[in-house]
Amino acid sequence: MAESRKKFEDELRDLEGIVEQLDSGQLPLEESIRAFERGVALLRSLNQKLEQAERRIEVLVKNAKGELESAPLENQAALGAEKNLDKDPAA
């Protein structure tokens, strides 16, 4: 389970190395298959870490009273779209 403790950047660097090895075409077939399997496992781990980070990200937004409050990132995107609709295009 040491794999789950690796930093995102370390796993990404490992994946980039695997891609370079596979692109070189220098690996024998069996090693290529093992490298590909390892790459798939890293990709899944990286995606999971990104999803976890996305769920944790919060941004500060102003509520109707002008007070700052935290809101999920998805809400911020929706609020930004609403604000753009409210703007006068001629301004």
CATH number at 12 reads 1.10.287
- Residue at 29 is within a domain: yes
Find out whether 61 and 71 touch, Cβ atoms under 8 Å.
yes
Asked, for residue 13, whether it belongs to a domain, the answer is yes
DSSP code string of 32-51: HHHHHHHHHHHHHHHHHHHH
Domain count, the chain: 1
What confidence category does residue 91 fall into, taking pLDDT thresholds of 50, 70 and 90?
A: very low
Percent of the chain with pLDDT over 70: 62
Please report whether residue 9 resides in a domain: yes
Give the residue with greater pLDDT, 57 vs 28: 28
Q: Which range marks the domain in which residue 15 is found? A: 2-56
User: Would residue 89 count as lying in a domain?
Assistant: no
Q: Identify the band that residue 56 occupies on the pLDDT scale cut at 50, 70 and 90.
A: confident
- Residues 12-23 have a mean pLDDT of 97
Establish if 88 belongs to a structural domain.
no
The reply to whether 87 falls in a domain is: no
Is residue 61 included in any domain, yes or no?
no
